[in-house]
Structure 1
Amino acid sequence: MMRAAIAGLGRWGRAIVAASQGCNELRFVAAVEPDLNGARAFCAEHNIGLTDQLQDILSDKTIDAVFIVTPHSLHREQVLACAAAGKHVFCEKPLALKVEDARAMFAACRAANVKLAVGHNRRFWPSMIALRDTVLSGELGTLLHVEGHNSNENSKAVLAGWRLSATESPGGGLTGSGLHILDSMVAMLGRVSSVQALLATQRQEAPQLDTATAILKFASGMSGTLSTIRMTPYYWRVHVFGTDASAEVLGETSMILRKSGQAPIHREFPTTNTLRAEIDAFAAQCTARASYPVNEDEVTNTLAAFEGILASMRNGTAVEIK
């Protein structure tokens, strides 16, 4: 069994630890968290050692892997340190805010012969797996357009901290929520070649009111739109349109297939613990039993488009993605 440590015991870090309970492949044995007092009870409950220094777990030869759930600007330094220490790395999305940093992280892990996985839990939704399989099967015909929307009410609950920083989470809700949609689009449809984007802000102080919208052109010739709102009831939608059919996902477990002259076909899938699925997939990658379903090209292509969207928001013009 792999022995793992987690850096960052905020809401999401704790959710990852909780999801690992009962896992036969990996067990959390240590945590790094600056707020020692706030983390002691949780670590005691889960029988996890606690420190406020990353170096303490990097120097522990019994620890095989590190999960990084920290502010985005820390990811590059921490991933490189883990690679240098010979630790496999699972890093929450976004891996980086700049594609050049992501490339440096993958290169460092390759050089150190350790694995690097990026947490995109929506990839593990049964509905999104079915959508990608449907797109890749050719059932939709020639692909023409994709629409994606991911919004939530997190801005009502998150009123302080680094997640509200325009430096750590630029683009309004793009970094926290919209990036899930962008990742799913790139995974299914390939590289984005150009973008035109708008960030409309009505209130900058918490709770923040803003909307992020992007028009995308893919290298394949397809078009797309992406939207995310930080304060509205939760909503998820990814809809791919082709010449023969369209397929739409409106949540974690359902997909609607539409074909000319036919009634819509509703497909339902069983629920799954997506965080546990990520952990299992990471463990399988580290032990060379299977490749991780979010690959390096997809991560770097998504971040290149992400950077392009942010640039377009700043300058108000279309941006070509190199």
Structure 2
Amino acid sequence: MKVAVLGCGGMGAIHASVYASLANAQLTAVCDANSQLADAMAAQTGAIPYYSFSDMLNNAEFDAISIALPTYLHKEYTLQAAKARKHIICEKPIALTLEDAQEMMAICEENGVRLFVGHVVRFFPDYNHLKQTLDSGKLGRPGVAHASRIGGHPGSWFADESLSGGVIVDLMIHDLDFLRSCFGEVESLYALSAAKEGLDYALVTLRFENGAIANVEANWGYPGPFHTKAEIAGSAGIIRANSLKSSSLQLVKQGTNSDTTGTVVIPGSPGYRSPYELQLEHFIRCIEDGSEALVTAEDAYKALELALYARESAVTGKAVYLKGGNAQ
């Protein structure tokens, strides 16, 4: 599969380096309006550099493209790529509005191309193990979940909510997508937020239709290292993941007469393969064989929907009640 990368910044560099190493992909072109970034990425990967998207569309040979641009540019370039019959792998979030996301999905369908969105947390070993353990029934009936995603403020265009969507749409959306994959559709949510220069913080409580409750925290402005935590508690036990701990996953089960420790420690994957590598390899395979992706465009739409409802709740101070994916 011949692929191109649009945007040679942080995420674009990850995508390009992964494609250059994948057995089922050939990186043929990279593009960035900043010629120095494009040239540097081309030198590292052996791809041909381009400095305008139209030039790359007209002259490069590729079947699929990674769109690794700021969120406010996702729609514009997705539409152009889809009309050129290119399969699209777009960084998350899919868009800034549901209307834009719907238009992107519709144009891709009309032109017979696939649209994938990079909710990469689904490919992280710790989170994969959390969901596998939940799905196995070892935790019993799901009860409560906690998730947090905390780091420094990225600044730049991220600081403008009209361009990035803010901490909920850009950062928390990872956990909103993951928790929805675990528990299904959301019945109601309530959000609190606080923002000032150098800080964007949000806390959201979700009640799922299956009765589970989740508290989700996201913070841009933490002075320490970026880190994540997740915990799922059920009627039979609790499972935890913490990126700050060397033991990446812990399962704590209810004690029994034969269980004298009360704790079973399950080591997570040591990370032999990057989650981004697993994700992009998976998306390319889905294009090749027509299979459904682990994360679909509809999943990305639903995650954005939850994020936007959370922003609405934070502004109004009122809970948002959903039924069938629509606010009541």
- Correspondence for 1:13: 12
What secondary structure sits across from 2:162 in the alignment?
A: coil
- Aligned counterparts of 1:60 and 1:135: Cα–Cα separation in 2: 48
Contact 2:16/2:30 (CA < 8 Å) preserved in 1?
Answer: no
* Residue identity matched to 2:81: C
TM-superposed deviation, 1:240: 1.1
What secondary structure sits across from 1:150 in the alignment?
A: strand
What secondary structure sits across from 2:233 in the alignment?
A: strand
The superposition leaves residues 117-160 of structure 1 with CA deviations (integer Å, 9 ceiling, x where unpaired) of 1112221111211111111222222111211101112x2xx44x
- Correspondence for 1:260: 254
The superposition leaves residues 172-209 of structure 1 with CA deviations (integer Å, 9 ceiling, x where unpaired) of x22332221111101111122221111112x32xxx12
- Aligned counterparts of 1:73 and 1:235: Cα–Cα separation in 2: 26
Corresponding position: 1:150 with 2:149: yes
Residue segments in structure 2 that go unaligned for 5+ positions in a row: none
- Correspondence for 1:224: 214
Identity of aligned residues (%): 25
**RMSD, aligned α-carbons:** 1.9
User: Structure 1 residue aligned with 2:241, among 249, 262, 283?
Assistant: 249
- Correspondence for 1:167: 162
The superposition leaves residues 229-284 of structure 1 with CA deviations (integer Å, 9 ceiling, x where unpaired) of 11223221111111122221213972211221152211113313111111111110
* Residue identity matched to 2:248: S
- Aligned counterparts of 1:289 and 1:83: Cα–Cα separation in 2: 17
TM-superposed deviation, 1:289: 6.2
- Aligned counterparts of 2:186 and 2:57: Cα–Cα separation in 1: 37
- Correspondence for 1:117: 116
- Correspondence for 2:316: 315
- Aligned counterparts of 2:15 and 2:60: Cα–Cα separation in 1: 23
- Aligned counterparts of 2:37 and 2:30: Cα–Cα separation in 1: 12
- Aligned counterparts of 1:193 and 1:289: Cα–Cα separation in 2: 32
- Aligned counterparts of 1:83 and 1:175: Cα–Cα separation in 2: 24
TM-score normalized by the length of structure 2? 0.89
- Aligned counterparts of 1:264 and 1:99: Cα–Cα separation in 2: 43
Q: Work out the number of aligned pairs and report it.
A: 312
- Aligned counterparts of 1:81 and 1:93: Cα–Cα separation in 2: 18
* Residue identity matched to 1:258: V
What secondary structure sits across from 2:302 in the alignment?
A: helix
Contact 1:308/1:320 (CA < 8 Å) preserved in 2?
Answer: no
What secondary structure sits across from 2:112 in the alignment?
A: coil
TM-score normalized by the length of structure 1? 0.90
Residue segments in structure 1 that go unaligned for 5+ positions in a row: none
